[in-house]
Amino acid sequence: MVAPRNFSRPFPNSGSPASRPNSRPCLRSKLETLPEEAGGENTTDLEITEIHFQAPESRPNSEFVELVYTGKNTLDVSGWRLDKGVKFTFPDNTILKSGQPVLVVREATAFVRTVNTPSTVLGTFASGLKRRGERLRIVDANDKTITDVHYATAAPWPAAFVDGSVSLQRIDLDRDIDDPVNWAAAKPSPGMAQSLTTAETFPLSLYQIRQSPEVPEPGKPTSVSAWLVPGASESVLQLTLHGDANGKRFEKSLMVKNEEGVSRQEIRGTIGALPPGTLVCYWFTARSAASATPLRFPRPNEQATAYLIPTTKTPSEASLPLYQLWLDDATWQSVQNQPHSDATRWATFVHKSKAYPVRIRCRGAFARSWPKKCCKVFFENSGGFRDQDRINLNSAYKDVAYIREPLAYSIYRNLEVPAPESRLVRLDVNGQFWGVFAEV
């Protein structure tokens, strides 16, 4: 069941929501202290509440980050900084009042001229917000982390649109800032009233799935973990870690606490030692009192988290960078046999033993008819690959010297003509050499 809410937030010492029409609401709930590296730590009640990062092409300078101080009295933030993602230093004598949103924008003059907002614009951040997500962090004058978030556009984060029609807006200031279900995609509303339709209660959420070490070692166990937040007023009855190691499935039951007042907990599991060259995909399922069917994380329509156990037999990258694609053989054959389809398939992309969830398809126009197909790789993680959200792997089928594209783009750049980067790479598919490609 859902209910429309006016986004008016009952800030401390700021009167009732009805007396503050120019803000959004926030559910209030108890939350334990969160470690800095997980995001969500906030000792001064300075909150990131809205991120407009996919501005329309017609108004690229309408990007902004909205901040709200929710503590008592006032807060002097002189010399504080946004130091991750965009860069901004709060000017001297900047005093924030409780409950009054402030903005940091991409271009202050253009923003004030084109955007109607009652909020104070503190200044301009350097460069722009990344369109596929990034980490934003606020530190004080002593470089102590005040709050940080790593927002994204890939699921399970809310869908964003490149036309700039929505921004990410935080729902509950007392819920972890890094929890994707704690953000809604809605019409940008910098410091203004906004009516959204949101769930009356938060669903069960499991996020920031990761392994340690990031690149596991051969013959040693790997620790996997995630943050778990039960749904409102419900307990988690069963939590299971699932995995697939080179086609062999396994699962382990995990412990979960259902203690009153604990709204978030870190869950941990261990995947045993595996031989070099093993590709491991893993995911979690959680069953709550409200659902007879276990929920999967990542979701069924998302790629499972994966890693590759390094092998000493991996070809040297002394001459060419090595890229690896891992996916079901039948899926790979489908990509090759349907070159004119723009439908993408899930795969795992590996470079220097680090795995990335990707979607792949053939690319090109007449090049799709070549025996050696070109491939487009879309990175579904928030950071992308080498700061790119996609790469082209061109087969160079008509270029027997494998030099045309890298050389041409290099000449263009030397002539100060805008041109993409290009280099030759080796591509292996499911552990087997597939060919040399021109990466663009």
Alpha-carbon gap, residue 101 to 118, rounded angstroms: 9
In the chain, where the domains are located: 2-199, 205-308, 322-439
pLDDT at 269: 95
C-alpha pair distances (Å), 154 with each of 158, 351, 387: 8, 21, 15
Candidates 338, 271, 279; CA nearest to 311 is: 279
The answer to whether domain 2-199 and domain 205-308 are alike in fold is yes
CATH number of the domain located at residue range(s) 2-199 in this protein: 2.60.40.1260
- Tokens encoding 264: 């978030």
Q: What is 343-389 written as a DSSP string?
A: --EEEEEEETTEEEEEEEEE--SGGGGSSS--EEEEE-STT-BTTBS
pLDDT at 263: 72
Q: Kindly report the number of other CB atoms within 10 A of residue 131's CB atom.
A: 14
Which residue's entry shows tokens 């599991």?
A: 269
pLDDT at 351: 92
Mean pLDDT by 10 residues, the chain (440 residues): 33 31 33 34 77 82 91 92 93 92 89 79 87 89 93 80 79 88 89 54 87 91 93 81 92 84 84 92 89 86 86 67 92 94 93 90 93 93 79 93 90 91 93 94
pLDDT at 163: 65
Alpha-carbon gap, residue 332 to 310, rounded angstroms: 23
- Tokens encoding 48: 């990131």
Out of 2.60.320.10, 3.20.20.70, 3.90.1170.30, 2.60.40.10, which CATH number does the structure's domain 205-308 have? 2.60.40.10
pLDDT at 67: 94
Alpha-carbon gap, residue 399 to 311, rounded angstroms: 32
